[in-house]
Amino acid sequence: MDPEALRKYSALHPKPAGLALQYGTAGFRTKAQQLDHVVFRMGLLAVLRSKAVAATIGVMVTASHNPEEDNGIKLVDPLGEMLHPSWEEYATQLANAEEQELQKVISEICQKAAVNPHKDALVFIGRDTRPSSEKLSQSVIDGILVLGGQYHDYGLVTTPQLHYMVCCQNTQGQYGKATLEGYYEKLSKAFMELIKQSHSSGEGQRHLKIDCANGIGALKLSEMKPYFPQEVLIHIYNDGTKEKLNHLCGADFVKVHQKPPGGLDMKPNERCCSFDGDADRIVYYYKDATGHFHLIDGDKIATLISIFLKELLAKVRQNFRMAVVQTAYANGSSTRYLEETLKVPVHCVKTGVKHLHHKAQEFDVGVYFEANGHGTVLFSKAAETKIRQLVKEEKDDEKREAAKVLENMIDLINQTVGDAISDMLVIEAILALKGLTVQQWDALYTDLPNRLLKVQVADRRVIDTTDAERRAVTPPGLQEKIDALVKKYKWSRAFVRPSGTEDVVRIYAEADTQENADALAHEVSLAVYHLAGGKGAPPQP
C-alpha cells in the first residue's frame, strides 16, 4: 500500500465533518451528496475483501426504492450473497474514520481479517440509473486503484444482475456466463422450455403490464425483450423517460399505499406487476370488475411457487426437504395456508434478507420471500445434482418430465438474491403451466386485514425483541400489555420492533376485520408511546 497515494486520493474524496453512517442490511444509504467519501472507501474495502477471500467481490451503487436524491452502496460476496456480517463492521469503521486515521484503520482490518496483501484483487462494479450514480461509481474506481486492485465496470445493471455476475465469475462459469447476454440467454432459454408445455387459454392470459419504477428494470427488460418469442407480451410502463425514479410508483409504493402506481392505466382483471428501483423486488396486483384493487404480495408469490414445486417434488419421489421461510410481517393467512393446507413447514426468522437466505440454505428446497416482494428459491447442491441426473437417466416418463421442469426452474431462478425479472418469469411460467388467472391465484387464501404504524421514540434501543422479533423483552411490561390487547380481538396478533435505520418503533397488527386491525395497531402504538419513551404528541387513531 502506497501511503502517499492513499493520502492524495483520500483528500479528493473528503469526509464531511461530523457525519457518521452505519452499514446495514442495505449497505450505506443517505443523500447522494454525502456519499462520495464513503464510496471511495468502499472501493478500498472491496479490494481488501477480495484479497482476504481470494475471489471477485461486487460493488453496487444504488439506493433501491429510496427517493431519486438518495444513493447508496453495498458489497457483494463471492457467491453473490450479501457481505459477511463481520465485514459490515469494517465497512462502518472505514466509512467513519477521520482522514488521518485511514491508513491505520486499513492496517487494522488487514490484521484482523488476515488479508494477504500479495494476492490479486478483482472487483465488479454496477450502478442504477440515478443521476448521481455514475460519478459515485468513478469514486469507487479511485478507491480500487489506490490499493492496486483491478475492476470490471458493468455500468448500468440491476442489483440482482451484479450478484449474478459475481457468482458466475467465482464458480468459473458453472453458474453461468458473467455477461448480460449470458444472463438473458440462460433465463430466456429456461423460460421458453417451461412455457412450451403450457396450453395457455387464449391471448389475454399472456399480457402483462409492468411498472418499472422509472428505474433500471425498464432498461434491462427492454434489452431482454428480443430474447423472448412473439407470444410473450410484456408492456413496460414508468420506463424512466418522463418521471422521477420511485416517484408515486414501484413495488414499495404499491405495497405501502395498497393502490396502483401512477403512469399505468389498469383495466379490470388485467395482470400487472411492479418492480422496485433496482429491480430486486416484485409485487403483482389487479383491479376486479367492481374496480376494487387487489395486491398480491411476497407471501402469495411464495405460496404460488411452493404449490408448484411441491407437486413436482411429489412426482420425482425423492426425499427432498422443502420449507418456506418468512418473517413476522408475513400475513397470518399465508402461514396458515402453507402449514395446514399445503402441509409445507414454515420457519420464521428476523427481518432482513440475510436472515431469510441463511435459513433457506438449510433445506433441499428453501423458498423465501418478504411480504414486500423480495425473495427467491434456493436448491441444495445435492438436490440440484440429483434433479439433473434424473433428467439424463430416469426411465419413468412422469418422473423424468417432472425433473425436467424442476431443472428449468433451477435455471430460471436467480439463487443469489431476490430478482424481479427472474421472479416475474417464474410466476408467469407457473401461471401458464397451471392455467391459472391472476384472480384464481389471489383466491388461494384471503389476507387477514392488517395495519403498519410507526411511533417516534427518543431511543429505539430501549426495545429489545426475541422469537424472531415476535416478542418484546424490554421495556418491562410492554409484551404483557400487547398480549392483553391481542386477546380482545379475533384472529389477531401484533408485534413491535425497533427500526434498523431511525429512532422509530414499527408496529404490525392483524385481526379479523380492518376496523379491529386498526384499533389494535393504535392501542399497541399507545402502549409503545407510554412505555418506550415516545416523542412528540401521543399517536392519534
276 is in an annotated binding site: yes
Q: How many domains does the structure of the chain reveal? A: 4
Quick check: helix, strand or coil at residue 501? coil
471 pairs with which residues across the strands? 466
Q: Are 303 and 288 in a shared domain? A: no
The dihedral formed by the CA atoms of 176, 178, 184 and 190, expressed in degrees to the nearest 10: 10
In this structure, is residue 357 part of a structural domain? yes
Q: Are 152 and 244 in a shared domain? A: no
72 is in an annotated binding site: no
372 is in an annotated binding site: yes
DSSP 371-410: TTS-EEEEE-HHHHHHHHHHHHH--SHHHHHHHHHHHHHH
Contact partners, residue 75, CB within 8 Å, separation at least 6: 27, 42, 45, 46, 49, 57, 58, 59, 60, 83, 87, 91
Q: What is the pLDDT of residues 501-524, one digit of tens each?
A: 678 999 999 999 999 999 999 999
Domain housing 479: 450-532
The rounded distance, in Å, linking the Cα atoms of 419 and 259 is: 22
Q: Are 14 and 149 in a shared domain? A: yes
pTM of the model: 0.94
Angle at 402 between CA 399 and CA 408, to 5 degrees: 140
Q: Are 62 and 104 in a shared domain? A: yes
pLDDT-based confidence at residue 205 (cuts at 50, 70, 90): low
286 pairs with which residues across the strands? 294
In this structure, is residue 269 part of a structural domain? yes
Domain with 388 in it: what CATH number? Answer: 3.40.120
Q: Are 310 and 286 in a shared domain? A: no
Separation in Å, CA 234 to CA 127, 413, 433, 518 = 24, 19, 18, 37
Q: What is the pLDDT of residues 427-475, one digit of tens each?
A: 999 999 999 999 999 999 999 999 999 999 999 899 999 999 999 999 9
Whether cis (ω within 30° of 0) applies to the bond prior to 475 is: yes
The rounded distance, in Å, linking the Cα atoms of 86 and 77 is: 12
What is the dihedral sign for C-alpha 497, 499, 502, 507? Answer: negative
Q: Are 138 and 50 in a shared domain? A: yes
| Single residue among 296, 313, 345 that ends a domain in this structure | 296
Q: Are 234 and 374 in a shared domain? A: no
Q: Are 307 and 358 in a shared domain? A: yes
**Helices of type H across 35-131:** 36-53, 85-96, 102-112
Angle at 468 between CA 442 and CA 507, to 5 degrees: 70
467 is in an annotated binding site: no
Q: Are 258 and 315 in a shared domain? A: no
Nearest in space to 493 (alpha carbons), one of 474, 479, 508: 508
Please determine, for residue 201, whether its predicted confidence score (pLDDT) is greater than 80.
no
Q: What is the pLDDT of residues 337-362, one digit of tens each?
A: 999 999 999 999 999 888 999 999 99
499 is in an annotated binding site: yes
The rounded distance, in Å, linking the Cα atoms of 470 and 472 is: 7
| Single residue among 277, 296, 315 that ends a domain in this structure | 296
DSSP 415-478: TTS--HHHHHHHHHHHHHHHT--HHHHHTTSPPPPEEEEEEEBS-GGG-EEETTTTEEEESTTH
Share of the chain above pLDDT 90, in %: 91
218 pairs with which residues across the strands? none
Q: What's the 3-state SS for 204-223?
A: HHHEEEEECCCCHHHHHHHH
Please determine, for residue 275, whether its predicted confidence score (pLDDT) is greater than 70.
yes
Average pLDDT, the chain: 95
Nearest in space to 243 (alpha carbons), one of 150, 129, 148: 129
In this structure, is residue 171 part of a structural domain? no
The rounded distance, in Å, linking the Cα atoms of 91 and 17 is: 18
Which amino acids are annotated catalytic? Answer: 64
In this structure, is residue 131 part of a structural domain? yes
Q: Are 28 and 151 in a shared domain? A: yes
Q: Are 302 and 286 in a shared domain? A: no
Nearest in space to 449 (alpha carbons), one of 508, 511, 506: 511
Residue with cell 401461471: 431
Q: What is the pLDDT of residues 208-239, one digit of tens each?
A: 999 999 999 999 999 999 998 777 789 999 99
64 is in an annotated binding site: yes
C-alpha cell of 146?
A: 489506490
Query: What local confidence, expressed as pLDDT, does residue 199 receive?
Result: 65
500 is in an annotated binding site: yes
280 is in an annotated binding site: yes
Start-to-end CA distance of the chain, whole Å, equals 59
In this structure, is residue 176 part of a structural domain? no
The rounded distance, in Å, linking the Cα atoms of 29 and 34 is: 10
Phi, psi (rounded to 5 degrees) for 10: -60, -35
Nearest in space to 38 (alpha carbons), one of 112, 102, 82, 123: 102
422 is in an annotated binding site: no
Query: What local confidence, expressed as pLDDT, does residue 352 receive?
Result: 87
Which residue pairs, CB below 8 angstroms and at least 24 apart, start in 267-273? 269/437, 269/438, 269/439, 270/207, 270/209, 271/207, 271/208, 271/209, 271/431, 271/437, 271/438, 272/208, 272/209, 272/210, 272/211, 273/208, 273/209, 273/210, 273/211, 273/424, 273/427
498 is in an annotated binding site: yes
In this structure, is residue 379 part of a structural domain? yes
Nearest in space to 425 (alpha carbons), one of 98, 94, 189: 189
Q: Are 283 and 308 in a shared domain? A: no
What is the dihedral sign for C-alpha 494, 472, 336, 425? Answer: positive
C-alpha cell of 48?
A: 481488501
171 is in an annotated binding site: no
Q: What is the pLDDT of residues 48-107, one digit of tens each?
A: 999 999 999 999 999 998 999 999 999 999 999 999 999 999 999 999 999 999 999 999
The rounded distance, in Å, linking the Cα atoms of 88 and 538 is: 36
What is the chain's percent helix, strand, coil content, to nearest 5? 45, 20, 35
In this structure, is residue 79 part of a structural domain? yes
Quick check: helix, strand or coil at residue 147? coil
Q: What is the pLDDT of residues 16-62, one digit of tens each?
A: 988 899 998 889 999 999 999 999 999 999 999 999 999 999 999 99
501 is in an annotated binding site: yes
In this structure, is residue 166 part of a structural domain? no
Domain with 93 in it: what CATH number? Answer: 3.40.120.10
